[in-house]
Amino acid sequence: MKLARAKTQNKFPNFHPNLTTVTYADGKMIRSEPEPQGIIEDIPQPQAQLQPTQATTQPLTTTAAIEEFTDYSKLKELSEYTIGNNYLPFLRRSFKDYRLVPTDHRLIRRILAQYTNRNTRRTYWLYFSTFYSFLEQEHDIPNPMPRVPKPKEDKTLPDHLNPEQKALLVKVELSPRDRAILDILIVTGLRPSDIANVNGRPLRFCDIYEGHIEVAGKGGKGRSVPISPELRVELLALQNGQRADLAVFSNNWGRPLTTWGLRKVVRRAFIAAGITGVSLTPYTIRHSFGGDFLAAGGNLASLQRILGHASVKTTMRYTHLSDKAVVDDYQRHMPGANYCLL
């Protein structure tokens, strides 16, 4: 087949003018490679349109940061009760007027200054510190907490019952369930979350053994707590033919009692006993147990294990309660104890 080579003119507008075509005898045309004329750079090259680089990192909103912190706390197996009922409400309340996560240390100072109680400010400082440490680690967000002084711990003694108040609480008339709740708090010093329905794990009848009970504890840290034979009989009497895997303490609808319901039981008992001058909460009973245990000669390490403290420093505050009991007893029974020689 005879080939004829020709320059392409404007007859073929679809072809580049510097490109050539091959014409076959039958008149059909095909596009060919350009002929090497001069330097190849003379052929105009299409310029790529350079687009400005778009930032892919978006500012972190407070809502997204708090949600990520919640997921992070679950992965770290932190106490769901503490995170859900303490951390999250405080963070949402503090940042409700801010769309983006604030990093100004002066703002954190102003938020903490709203709380007059020193121990409350110290607790909220720890909440902020945990939250911003997470953001610094995961999102490289500046941490303002190193520039916010940590409030000093208030050395005042926690509320506790004196012997007369404890006697009133023991004698007050209550229902079998409420009586058992008061007795287990008085005898063991347990937290409300140790026996109520927290994270779906209340105290069950199958957790009651000869001489001790098994509690899930704060943060899911289980521990064994000794009980007296009398208390064991009292607790098992509430079973009344029910399955062993059911909660020991239930509400009027048959569901496991919550910590809020348990606090209501304790408050009603305090009011019925005529006890005033102290916080009407289960923690008042817990603090009383700690001080009485040490005053009676109990070991600090044993008390730490019973109360479920992660650090013995937390348990050591009850030594001040036992010391105060010794001083009060001395002033009551020592003739001339208030007389000071100059």
Q: What would the DSSP string read from start to end of 95-106?
A: TTT-SBPP--HH
For the segment 95-108, the average pLDDT, to the nearest whole number, is: 91
What pLDDT, on a 0 to 100 scale, did the predictor assign at position 29? 53
Q: Reply yes or no on whether the pLDDT at 264 is more than 80.
A: yes
Q: Reply yes or no on whether the pLDDT at 192 is more than 60.
A: yes
Higher pLDDT pick, 85 / 35: 85
What pLDDT, on a 0 to 100 scale, did the predictor assign at position 12? 46
Sheet hosting strand 208-209, strand order edge to edge: 208-209, 212-215, 223-226
Burial 124-149 (b: 16+ CB within 10 A, else e): bbebbbbbbebbeeeeebebbbeebe
Choose among 214, 215, 216, 201: nearest CA to 246. Answer: 201
Q: Reply yes or no on whether the pLDDT at 181 is more than 90.
A: yes
The C-alpha atoms of residue 19 and residue 30 are separated, in whole angstroms, by 11
* Lowest-confidence pick of 259-273, 282-296, 314-328: 314-328
For the segment 94-118, the average pLDDT, to the nearest whole number, is: 91
pTM (2 decimals)?
Answer: 0.64
What pLDDT, on a 0 to 100 scale, did the predictor assign at position 296? 86
Q: Reply yes or no on whether the pLDDT at 50 is more than 90.
A: no
Per CATH, the architecture of 163-333 is what?
Orthogonal Bundle (1.10)
For the segment 275-303, the average pLDDT, to the nearest whole number, is: 89
Query: What does the domain layout of the chain look like in residue ranges?
Result: 4-36, 62-147, 163-333
Cβ atoms of 202 and 248 closer than 8 Å: yes
DSSP string, 278-314: S--SHHHHHHHHHHHHHHTT--HHHHHHHHT-SSHHH
For the segment 54-72, the average pLDDT, to the nearest whole number, is: 78
The C-alpha atoms of residue 241 and residue 250 are separated, in whole angstroms, by 14
The C-alpha atoms of residue 209 and residue 292 are separated, in whole angstroms, by 25
Cβ atoms of 72 and 65 closer than 8 Å: no
Q: Reply yes or no on whether the pLDDT at 95 is more than 70.
A: yes
Q: Reply yes or no on whether the pLDDT at 24 is more than 80.
A: no
What pLDDT, on a 0 to 100 scale, did the predictor assign at position 116? 87
For the segment 231-236, the average pLDDT, to the nearest whole number, is: 92
Residue carrying structure tokens 């319901």: 261
How far CA 28 is from CA of 21, 143, 162, 225, in Å, comes to: 10, 74, 112, 98
For the segment 257-269, the average pLDDT, to the nearest whole number, is: 92
Q: Reply yes or no on whether the pLDDT at 52 is more than 50.
A: no
For the segment 169-173, the average pLDDT, to the nearest whole number, is: 91
What pLDDT, on a 0 to 100 scale, did the predictor assign at position 15? 46
Higher pLDDT pick, 149 / 82: 149
Q: Reply yes or no on whether the pLDDT at 285 is more than 90.
A: yes
For the segment 151-158, the average pLDDT, to the nearest whole number, is: 77
Average pLDDT value for the chain:
79
